Structure 1
Amino acid sequence: MFTPSDLDVLVPTRDRPGALAVTLAGLAAQTAPGFRVVISDQSREPVAGDRLVAAQVRILGHRDRPVDVRRHLPARGMAEQRAFLLDRADRRLALYLDDDVWLEPEAIEVLLAAMNGLRCGFVGFALHGLSYRDDVRPAELAPYEEWTGGVRPERVRRESPAWRRWTLHNASNPLHLAQEHIGAPGPREWRPYKVAWIGGCVLYDRERLLECGGFDFWRSVPPRHAGEDVAAQLRVMERYGGAGLLPSRAYHLELPTTITDRGAECYDYVFEAAAGAR
C-alpha cells in the first residue's frame, strides 16, 4: 500500500517565484504529511532567495514535508529538466507538479488512494482554468469515458480515436465534466476516466516510469521543445495504463507559459522517428 512517505513531489521551476510560492503553499496545506518535495530551479536568480518561496520552504519542513531545492543550469529543455528531477527521486511514487498549480488540501490523499486502488502506471488531475468556468463546451466534453473494471493498458496515438480525448482538459472542461457526471462529490470521492494525456499534475509509479524510459529521450530532441509529458505518458500508458481523476483538485494559476517556442513536439521525435526507422 502506498503512503505519503512513498512520495516525492517533483517541481520544475523557472523565473516564477510568486507562482512557485503559491504552489508550495498548496503543498504545505495538504492533509497527507510525510512526502518530500524536490525543486529543480532554472531561474536567472536563485528561487531559494525569494522571501515568499523561502517562507514556504520553512513551513513545509516544519510540517513534515522536507524540501530539496536544486539549482540546475544551463537549461536544456523541459524533458531534460524532468529527467533531472527523476534522477533525484528515490521513493516509490513521483508526482510531477508544475510551478503554477494550486492543489486542494485533499489532493495528494486522493491521488494516493487512486493509485492504491487502480495500480496503474499513472493517475492525475487535469488543471482547472477557472477564468473559463462559464464557458461550457459540450463538443469538447463528448469524448469522456470512465474506466470500469480497472484501468488497462492502451495504445494512444495521433491517428487513434482516443487522441480526441485531449479536448477534455481545455479551459474549465474538468470542472464541467465533474458537474455533469458527479454533481456534488464527497470530500474524497474520485472516479477514473480515460485520457490522451494529463498536464501539470501527474502521479507516476516511479519504477514503471523508469522502465518505460522516463524522459530519457531528452537527448534526441531539440532544446526548444514541447510535449515531453505527452511522450512519457503515452509510453507508460501503453504498458501499464493511466487515468485522469474526477473531480479534479488541481487549479491552474493561468500565468503566461515559460515555453514560448513549441516548434518541436517530442511526440514526433519519440514516436514518428521510431516508426520511420523501422
Structure 2
Amino acid sequence: MSVVTNDEVRRELVEFLDQRQPDVVREWSLLRTFAEQRTVDAVGGCTELLNSLRRAARDGQEQNPAAAGFDDVRPMLRASAGGGASRRLDLLSLKEPLLRLWWEHRAGTPAVTDGALALSSAVDALRMVQLEEELTAGTETISMQRQQLTELSTPVIKLWDGVLAVPLIGTLDSTRSQSATESLLEQVVVQQAKVAILDITGVPTVDTMVAQHLLKTTMAARLMGVECVLSGIRPQIAQTMVQLGIDLGDLVTKASLADALSYALQKTGLAVVSADQG
C-alpha cells in the first residue's frame, strides 16, 4: 500500500489550484455571497481568495490563519466587514464547490482524502482571518465613535469676541477632561480669547477628582494668558464641595452662565445694558 507524504499532497494541491483555477473561480463567482457584486468584482475577489489558499497550501500553512499567504486578502475581508451584513462574504460556502472539483480532479488517487482535508482546513483558516479582520474593523469603529462622542461632548463655543465657553455635560473623567483642555487651548489660539467660561450646569456631581480635572484645565488656560470662570454651580453641588473640603483656589465662580458671561464681558471692557438706558 502506497503512503502519500505531506509534500506529495502539497504538490498535488498546488497543481490542482493552478490547473483548475478558472473552474473554481467561475463556480465561486456564481455563489450567493458574490451575487450582488458586479461580475468583474466577483471574479477578482474569487481569484484573490483562491490565490491566498494556494499560497498557504504551497507553504504548508493551510491551517494557520497568521500565515503570510493570507496577508494579501486581509484588506478585502476588512473592507467587506466594514460594509455591514449585506456585503459580508460567506466563506464557508466556498468549501462545497472547491472540494467537489478536487474530488473530480483526483478521484481514485492516494492524495484525494488528505488533499480534501487540507483544502477544508485552508478555508477554515481563511474564515478565521475574516473573523479577525471583522473584530479589528469593529474595534476601530468603536474607537472612532468614542472619540467623536468625546469631541461632541466637550465643544468650545465662542460667546463674544475674546470670550469662549465650554459647556460640560455628564460625568467628567480623565479622557473628557483632556479633550476639553485640548479643544479649549486650540480655540484660545484661533479666537485670541481672553476669558474662558467652564460651565458645569450639566455635570451631575462634583467630587475631588472632577475638581482636579477642572483646576488642571484652568491652569493650562492661564498659562496661555486666559482667565477662566467656573459657572453653573447649583446649591447641591456647592454644598457637596464644601463638605468634601474642595478648594478651587482663586478660580472665579458664578452661579449661572449668564452671570459668567456678564463677568467676562466686563473683563474685556464691555458691558450689557438695557436698551432703555442707551
Question: Normalising by structure 1, what TM-score?
Answer: 0.22
Q: Which has the higher helix share?
A: 2
Q: Which has the higher strand share?
A: 1
Quick check: which has more Rg, 1 or 2?
2
Q: State the structure with bigger RCO (CA 8 A, min sep 6), 1 or 2.
A: 1
